[in-house]
Amino acid sequence: MSKYKKQRQTMNWEHKYDSLDFKKLLTILKDNRRDIQSNQQLYFDHDQDKLDIKDYYRGAQDLDLSSLALFYKFHTIVFHSHKNQLPYFLAKDLYLYTWVDLYPDGSAKSIYSSQLKDPESLLMEDNETLREKYDEFRKRSRKIQMNGFDSIKELKMFEDHFKMNTEHIVPQSWFDGAEPMKGDLHHLFVCEPDCNISRSNFPFADFDFYNPESENEPIQNNCGVTSGFEFEPEHGKGASARAMLYFFLRYPKRVKSEFKKKVNIPLLARWNEEFPPTLYERHRNQAIFYIQGNRNPFIDFPALAKRIDFL
């Protein structure tokens, strides 16, 4: 790809706004969808991606290192290259819906249900949710001041009531919703609120009684199954696994121990192997690389998941 083309590819996603203008977001989305329909190379450039990978890792994947040394090597790479750390509202609205989570046809899909979503509708729904959230926040604030209710409990109920069309693969409660984790695009995916609620903040599991990959599976609820404080998604297992593995590589000490000890790393490594990266994931990785500055090594080198010893 020429330098000019690469500049064109990234210019719509650069962080230029002090505050997000809803009409501007819709314009960016429409422009991006139009551009990838006319030129699929703008969606994902295979040749450029190979060059980017070679330059980014500089042979780190071929080093003969111990599992732990390999962890630290790749942690150092993804940590130091994460130069553009975005706040959540900016990552979600300006980047996720308008470019990062788009499929080759310009549509979006919910990560756990794989249901088609119109990105424009996602923006509109979240915009309306924000308005409702603001109005309700003002009401609850007055109520708390007048009646002295448990503000923490009130705010928890408040947050649980207003869900966006976005899923944090590593739930926010695992890291107290802090930045830069909250806005890290590598683990943000489109997800309808119902599936978000079904998953809650539970770790992933593989239930013996549930096989969503089988055509004969009787449970078809377009999200997955929650049982015993664990969740198995109906779709998106590979992408979810790689996103969570990235998170533990990038932020090894930021997940609370009470949650971290429940994570089944061997299961994530197996899903990573059974459901290899798709064109959609490779597009995401390339797009996020141009936005944040860092990559997900488990998309670039899936076999790495079984070579690394996670902390």
- Give the model's pLDDT for residue 153: 58
Q: What is the mean pLDDT of residues 77-105?
A: 97
pLDDT grade for 9, boundaries at 50, 70 and 90: very low
Task: Tell me if 6 is assigned to some domain.
Answer: no
Which of 14-18, 161-165, 190-194 has the lowest average pLDDT? 14-18
Residue 281 forms part of a structural domain:
yes
Helices (H) and strands (E) in the chain, counts: 13, 6
What pLDDT is attached to residue 149?
54
137-142 average pLDDT score: 68
Prediction pTM value: 0.89
How is residue 247 annotated by DSSP?
A: H
Pick from 250, 255, 264, 260: nearest CA to 297: 250
Domain extent, residue 41, equals: 19-306
Predicted confidence (pLDDT) at residue 220 exceeds the cutoff of 80 = no
What's the confidence (pLDDT) of residue 281?
Answer: 99
Q: 7 has which bridge partners?
A: none
pLDDT tens digit string along 261-294?
999 999 999 999 999 999 999 999 999 999 999 9
pLDDT cut 90: percent of the chain above it: 77
Residue 186 has pLDDT above 70, yes or no: yes
* pLDDT given at position 160: 60
pLDDT of residue 147: 63
In a domain, residue 4? The reply is no
Question: Does 144 score more than 70 pLDDT?
Answer: no
Q: In angstroms, what CA-CA distances link 273 with 109, 126, 201? A: 22, 34, 24
Q: Name the pLDDT band for 10 (thresholds 50, 70, 90).
A: very low
Confidence tier at 295 by pLDDT (50, 70, 90): very high
Higher pLDDT, 278 or 6: 278
* pLDDT band (50, 70, 90) for residue 217: confident
The verdict on residue 9 lying in a domain is no
Which residue type sits at 223? C
Average pLDDT over residues 44-67: 96
DSSP3 helix / strand / coil % (the chain, rounded to 5): 55, 5, 40
* pLDDT at position 20: 65
Spatial separation of the C-alpha atoms in residues 133 and 40, rounded to whole Å: 38
Query: From residue 294, how far is each of 9, 75, 288 by CA, in Å?
Result: 17, 11, 7
Residue 302 lies in a domain: yes
In a domain, 299, yes or no: yes
Q: Which of 102-111, 210-219, 293-302 has the lowest mean pLDDT?
A: 210-219
Mean pLDDT along residues 19-25? 81
Establish if 272 belongs to a structural domain: yes
Length of the chain: 311
Q: What's the mean pLDDT when you consider all of the chain?
A: 89
Tell me how far apart the alpha carbons of residues 33 and 36 are, in angstroms, rounded to a whole number. 5
Instruction: Indicate the number of domains in the chain.
Output: 1
pLDDT at residue number 142: 66
Q: CA–CA separation, 190 vs 13, rounded Å?
A: 18
Torsion angle in degrees (nearest 10) through CA of 95, 99, 102, 104: -160
How far is C-alpha 210 from the geometric centre of its chain's CA atoms?
Answer: 25
Please check whether residue 12 lies inside any domain of the structure: no
